[in-house]
C-alpha cells in the first residue's frame, strides 16, 4: 500500500499568512494526488486534484504543486474560513490512501 | 445540484450487521464510479470501497474486505454498503463519495455526502 505522510500535523497561523503543507508518498504516484479541506462536523471538500488543478469554485489562494513523491499545498493570504484540517489522498492505486491530516489553527 | 444523502447508520452490537444507503441526485448516476470513506471519532479519513460506474470492478480496503460489500442500484440511483460482523473499531461516520467524470485520471473524490454515524457497541 502507498503511504502518504503529511507535515506538519499541526500548524498555527494568522489571518493573512501564507502556509505550506507537504505530502510525501512512499512510492511514485505521478500526479494522482488530491487535497481536501474538512471543517469540524462537515464532510471533506475537494480542493485540488491531479496535484495542481483547482476544483471549480475553490479560491485561487489555494495552490497545489508537485509530482511523483513530493507534493505541496500552499494557501496564500489565509482567510478566517481556511482554518480547518487538510488531507492529501492518492488515486494512483488501490487501496486509496489518505495522509494523516494537517490541522491549521488560528494563532 | 449534486446531492448525496446517506442513511442507515445507528447503534449496532458487535458481530451485528447494518446496511448503509446513499441516495443520489443531480447527476447521471450510471456515468460515475462511487466510493465509501469513513472517519472514526477524532481520527483521519479512511477509504473503504470502490465500485465502478457499471458495477464492476469493485475494490476494498484490507480492514473491511470479506465483511463489507459495496453495491449500486441504477434504478434507484443509490449506492449501498452492506456491513457484516461489525466490530467496535468500525465505529465511525461513513461517507459516500462520487468520483470525478472520466477514466482513471478522474478518480478523485469530487462530491461527498454529509455522512451517517455508525456506532458499534454492546
Integer Cα distance of B7 and B19 in angstroms: 9
Q: What is the mean pLDDT of residues B92-96?
A: 98
User: Is residue A94 predicted with pLDDT exceeding 90?
Assistant: yes
What is the phi-psi region of residue A41: left when phi exceeds 0, alpha when psi lies from -120 to 50, beta otherwise?
left
Half-sphere exposure of A2 (CA within 13 A, CB side): 26
Q: B109 and A44: CB-CB below 8 Å? A: yes
B104 or A105: whose pLDDT is higher?
Answer: A105
Distances from the Cα of B91 to the Cα of A54, B36, B47, B88, B94, angstroms: 33, 14, 14, 6, 9
Q: What is the mean pLDDT of residues A46-71?
A: 97
Q: Mean pLDDT in chain B? A: 97
Distances from the Cα of A27 to the Cα of A2, A65, A91, A93, B38, angstroms: 6, 17, 13, 11, 24
User: Is residue A93 predicted with pLDDT exceeding 90?
Assistant: yes
Q: What is the mean pLDDT of residues B53-63?
A: 96
Question: Residue A35: helix, strand or coil by DSSP?
Answer: strand
pLDDT of the residue at A42: 98
- The model's confidence at residue B104, banded by pLDDT at 50, 70 and 90, is confident
Residue B99 is placed in which grid cell?
Answer: 468520483
CB < 8 Å from B in window 39-98 of A:
42-46, 49-50, 55, 87, 89, 91, 94-98
pLDDT in tens, B32-57: 999 999 999 999 999 999 999 999 99
CB < 8 Å from A in window 25-84 of B:
35, 37, 44-47, 50, 59-62
Burial class (CB in 10 A: 0-12, 13-18, 19+), A7: middle
pLDDT in tens, B3-41: 999 999 999 999 999 999 999 999 999 999 999 999 999
Residue B58 is placed in which grid cell?
Answer: 469493485
What lies within 8 Å, CB to CB, of A12 at 6+ separation is: A105, A106, A107
Half-sphere exposure of B57 (CA within 13 A, CB side): 4
User: Is residue B92 predicted with pLDDT exceeding 90?
Assistant: yes
Q: B44 and A97: CB-CB below 8 Å? A: no
Q: A98 and B105: CB-CB below 8 Å? A: no
User: Is residue B105 predicted with pLDDT exceeding 90?
Assistant: no
Amino acid at each position: 500500500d502507498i503511504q502518504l505522510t503529511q507535515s506538519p500535523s499541526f500548524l498555527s497561523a494568522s489571518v493573512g499568512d501564507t502556509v505550506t503543507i507537504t505530502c510525501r508518498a512512499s512510492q511514485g504516484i505521478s500526479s494522482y494526488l488530491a487535497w481536501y479541506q474538512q471543517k469540524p462536523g462537515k464532510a471533506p471538500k475537494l480542493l485540488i486534484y491531479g496535484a495542481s488543478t483547482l476544483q471549480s469554485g475553490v479560491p485561487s489562494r489555494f495552490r497545489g504543486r508537485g509530482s511523483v513523491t513530493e507534493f505541496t499545498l500552499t494557501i496564500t493570504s489565509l482567510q478566517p474560513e481556511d482554518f480547518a484540517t487538510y488531507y492529501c489522498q492518492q488515486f494512483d492505486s488501490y487501496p486509496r490512501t489518505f495522509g494523516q491530516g494537517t490541522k491549521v489553527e488560528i494563532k | 445540484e449534486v446531492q448525496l444523502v446517506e442513511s442507515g447508520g445507528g447503534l449496532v452490537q458487535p458481530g451485528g450487521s447494518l446496511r448503509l444507503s446513499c441516495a443520489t441526485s443531480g447527476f447521471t448516476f450510471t456515468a460515475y464510479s462511487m466510493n465509501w470513506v469513513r472517519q472514526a471519532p477524532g481520527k483521519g479519513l479512511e477509504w473503504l470501497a470502490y465500485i465502478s460506474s457499471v458495477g464492476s470492478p469493485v475494490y476494498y480496503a484490507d480492514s473491511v474486505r470479506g465483511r463489507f460489500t459495496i453495491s449500486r442500484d441504477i434504478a434507484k440511483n443509490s449506492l449501498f454498503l452492506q456491513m457484516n460482523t461489525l466490530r467496535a473499531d468500525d465505529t465511525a461516520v461513513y461517507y459516500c463519495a462520487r468520483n470525478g467524470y472520466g477514466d482513471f485520471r478522474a478518480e478523485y473524490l469530487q462530491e461527498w455526502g454529509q455522512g451517517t454515524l455508525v456506532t458499534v457497541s454492546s
